Structure 1
């Protein structure tokens, strides 16, 4: 146990106060993280899984968290560390199985069930807390209105501000109920961007009225639900700050809008400070100082090699009068308030972590919720559902795991299955091989992922669309399952006999799609976004809220 009360800021040195605002990136259960905490007194760490090798077990993570906290509490002014992670669900899950794989935001929005969003967020939080994590950098409160958005997409609850607001608030409530801090992101809204802020600075051209109508509601709802933190986006929004300064460094956006207009007095967390969207055009050493002057509190994931100089720059700025010390103290107090539940908290237990994570009850809850998200978008001539039984099926897909999961699930229903993995952007020879295999099949199941090129140069994989068209040209019935964003059918609207959206490559989502194809699950999902008609200023190909059911 540690002292259950946060320290008085007046007991802290200037260096200690500045260090508390930094959260540094660690890859894997790195023992150097505890040394960083012991040496500098940093506020915490953000965890990323190893890029290769064996994933960290829950027990190893709990031991890692324990070592970090012991180092933090051994300092002259003992303050527990924040141990954070991006565990959004869907495509952004830094902790792989045995942690329970969760549906992403757009999938949950397709299910329209705020109870699912709340309950599964609470499950995520309980598993995180068992392993020693204290903060989840979720939910994503962006409203995805650009179908070609290169970085948000299915991470968003969709294109409707009211739906996104309800779901974001529910996830905030669930995370907090499960014992971890929630972080709504990426303020003031990353959903209308054609640039990935990891690689450049997006410029959002909405006028202020449109921002108020579209982007603001989910953040306002998350704040009303009690979100502990709000993460900034590295975005230029001229309607909110005419200088074009990235929001992370913008006083009008962070202090004027988020603090004063919305009344948010929790921790403002920067998006990662090692991203190009914030580093291009700004000096690494001064970026954290500029963020503090704008109104930020927590300085997340700076380049580790730049951190010592950044820390020194903040201390120097206070001593030189550039940054008032009371401004620094205000951020430290918000950090300590964020950490209040950690004071006096018991140490992590590696054995308990193993027992609490990936339980059958958690997996059952995910399975039930996922079946409510599967969306039947198109079904020509009521082709679905199919009866199980003997038939020859070709399964194609952009990755071996996706293809194999679908093939195995279909084979369990009495079919003879030929699996043909095509790669993410099938070449002509791979398409020809699939077409040859299709001619000997009774049915083709084609998985697609980001095949819907809705404007030139958006990075979509055109080979997948050509594959679907070529398969349909054989005369065999083709059922397409979009395993990420649901927009793919815009590239081949007349090709498939049926088209389903899962919003996820997780095995539980793929199996739910197969259950739907065979009538074991009635599709209840509804599109959280419209699917546009590409290249034309016309009505959507399928509108927001569209979804078919077998209960015709």
Structure 2
């Protein structure tokens, strides 16, 4: 589903000047940002490529997930994927260019474990039998907010759309700098962030609050700030995603194949500015999108496999010289047309440099080798891809400093100064959308308060904050799709309370999240009790359109405790809200009519 003409006209007319200004500023900042002289970089890269076997070159083009909490302990989950059991063996078997960490692979349990795994994997890469010594990219997706792979004690931030609400490029850069610094201390040298998609579709199921804004100018400004924060301050590689833009779809490319219906002119005005700003800031990597964009390539191929998009547009027209990496090749959006081995070859032919998370490593590796040996994939193209990958590793300091210092982790990760900065940034992101009854701020001392709605941790965090201020609090957690019985229990608990604080999480999405419509029922039935009700949307800000009678409504854009604690400070009046909506909130069922516009926000 595409956005309304109204939404597009707004971004067409309102975003271009700001995007141009942000891009110009990014270009000026980027001058002289490479930390090592080009001659040294070129010398190491050239000599290394000259000594590499074809298998080693192809290995550098793959970034894979590996199972296990340390490098050398066998994990049976690796066997069906790779034929070997330990993460170290996987790295050495394929001469991998990189690995990626997830909680579900047991890679990110705590900072000490993470640094141990990182150093163990680097040792495996650097001690295998070879004429070359090439360290790994060790990557994760630490966008913050809804996409956060490493939790506390690492410092948490509320994510991109919250930063868009705060409107501060300085805060966006601070969040990226702290995140990057802590990742590097744990041996993670590559962050697949920031998200450069412009979320012009409020029904977008996969981007949403991962986007800074529905306005390309604001998204471009904050994307450039975060690239500077990650790369210049945090010293980690960063990756803009998902090119050419995933912001106007109602389809999730993890499970299906989206089609973007923007014209070329709309792409230039809406989708392109954040990527251009990131390129001007000399971003190390750009991640592809598994979607069809007929105005840019009418072949029906996903952008990941599209030479007109990856090479003609990104390389030639936009002049991008860094590394192009695919989104996960295990996602359905790229697997519908071709087999996994053929997908790997076609992505490289399209202009991609690195393949992320192929689900068929042996087949894909063999297919790429065969494509080179047959001449289908020219050797000089492979060498150019490897050169970009090795240049990134050298320029980012991975070659000079492949290992992290375990003893330094406590003095970097989750320090009091970092946590205080996160609280300060978060205080500037909570948006007060509606306060018709002047219920906020609340003086909680002596009040009887019910905290209900989405999230065990979310409701507990709010309840603890209210209790600390002297309220007597009851908590009734109802989840994302409450049953009628759960709704009735929460409504019964509201009896005799002075205030009800109810949290919603994508209550608008009755197809995926609130499948029973229970969150909407919960809010409406709580409102019918006549008790003072404060609604707090803890993810997408769009929920208010589905219970417009609510007189008091806050948007946090994140259910991370750091965002919820900031919302609690706003509720009790310790902090006055200053943020404004980074998107339009449309009328329910009518995306062309705006209920609350971009820039709306109240204060005390």
The TM-score with structure 1 as length reference comes to: 0.96
Deviation at 1:388, TM superposition (A): 3.1
Deviation at 1:39, TM superposition (A): 2.1
Corresponding residue for 2:56?
16
C-alpha distance in 2, partners of 1:191/1:163?
Answer: 14
Contact residue 450 and residue 485 of structure 1 kept, 8 A: yes
Tell whether 2:188 aligns with 1:133: yes
Corresponding residue for 1:156?
211
SS of match in other structure, 1:87: coil
Aligned equivalent of 1:354, options 399, 410, 424: 410
C-alpha distance in 2, partners of 1:473/1:351?
Answer: 57
SS of match in other structure, 1:478: strand
Aligned equivalent of 1:59, options 93, 112, 131: 112
Corresponding residue for 1:334?
388
Task: Specify whether residues 274 and 537 from structure 1 end up closer, same or farther in structure 2 by C-alpha distance, changes over 3 A only.
Answer: closer
Shifted more, 361-370 versus 280-289: the winner is 280-289
Aligned equivalent of 2:361, options 289, 307, 312: 307
Contact residue 66 and residue 105 of structure 2 kept, 8 A: no
Tell whether 2:335 aligns with 1:297: no
Corresponding residue for 2:551?
497
Aligned equivalent of 1:514, options 554, 560, 568: 568
C-alpha distance in 1, partners of 2:602/2:67?
Answer: 43
C-alpha distance in 2, partners of 1:85/1:314?
Answer: 25
Q: Deviations for 1:166-209, whole angstroms, at most 9, x for unmatched residues?
A: 00000000000211001000000011111111101111111111
Tell whether 2:434 aligns with 1:394: no
Matches within 5 A, 1:4-83: 5-6=44-45, 7-31=47-71, 32-50=86-104, 56-75=109-128, 76=130, 77-83=132-138
SS of match in other structure, 1:128: helix
Contact residue 70 and residue 120 of structure 2 kept, 8 A: no
Contact residue 407 and residue 419 of structure 1 kept, 8 A: yes
Contact residue 59 and residue 351 of structure 1 kept, 8 A: no
C-alpha distance in 2, partners of 1:538/1:457?
Answer: 21
Tell whether 2:372 aligns with 1:321: no
C-alpha distance in 2, partners of 1:43/1:399?
Answer: 38
Deviation at 1:539, TM superposition (A): 3.1
Matches within 5 A, 1:311-460: 311-340=365-394, 341-345=397-401, 347-453=403-509, 457=511, 459-460=513-514
Tell whether 2:176 aligns with 1:121: yes
Which structure 1 segments of 5+ residues have no match? Answer: none
Shifted more, 348-357 versus 463-472: the winner is 348-357
SS of match in other structure, 2:557: coil
Task: Specify whether residues 346 and 198 from structure 1 end up closer, same or farther in structure 2 by C-alpha distance, changes over 3 A only.
Answer: closer
Tell whether 2:575 aligns with 1:535: no
SS of match in other structure, 1:218: helix
The TM-score with structure 2 as length reference comes to: 0.88
Contact residue 28 and residue 56 of structure 1 kept, 8 A: no
Shifted more, 457-466 versus 321-330: the winner is 457-466
C-alpha distance in 1, partners of 2:363/2:345?
Answer: 11
Shifted more, 306-315 versus 6-15: the winner is 6-15
Task: Specify whether residues 257 and 294 from structure 1 end up closer, same or farther in structure 2 by C-alpha distance, changes over 3 A only.
Answer: same
Deviation at 1:508, TM superposition (A): 1.6
Corresponding residue for 2:77?
none
C-alpha distance in 1, partners of 2:591/2:465?
Answer: 40
Which structure 2 segments of 5+ residues have no match? Answer: 1-39, 72-85
C-alpha distance in 1, partners of 2:249/2:418?
Answer: 35
SS of match in other structure, 1:395: strand
C-alpha distance in 2, partners of 1:251/1:184?
Answer: 19
C-alpha distance in 2, partners of 1:443/1:199?
Answer: 41
Corresponding residue for 1:482?
537
C-alpha distance in 1, partners of 2:221/2:470?
Answer: 41
Deviation at 1:277, TM superposition (A): 0.7
C-alpha distance in 1, partners of 2:279/2:195?
Answer: 13
Q: Deviations for 1:407-451, whole angstroms, at most 9, x for unmatched residues?
A: 111111211111111121111111111111112211110000000
Contact residue 27 and residue 49 of structure 1 kept, 8 A: no
Deviation at 1:521, TM superposition (A): 0.5
Contact residue 157 and residue 563 of structure 2 kept, 8 A: no
Aligned residues: 542
Corresponding residue for 1:144?
199
C-alpha distance in 2, partners of 1:222/1:11?
Answer: 33
Corresponding residue for 2:5?
none
Shifted more, 212-221 versus 55-64: the winner is 55-64
C-alpha distance in 2, partners of 1:51/1:438?
Answer: 42
Corresponding residue for 2:20?
none
Contact residue 314 and residue 320 of structure 2 kept, 8 A: yes
Task: Specify whether residues 55 and 314 from structure 1 end up closer, same or farther in structure 2 by C-alpha distance, changes over 3 A only.
Answer: closer
Contact residue 108 and residue 149 of structure 2 kept, 8 A: no
Deviation at 1:394, TM superposition (A): 1.0
Root mean square deviation, CA, Å: 1.6
C-alpha distance in 1, partners of 2:486/2:206?
Answer: 28
Task: Specify whether residues 18 and 67 from structure 1 end up closer, same or farther in structure 2 by C-alpha distance, changes over 3 A only.
Answer: same
Deviation at 1:372, TM superposition (A): 0.3
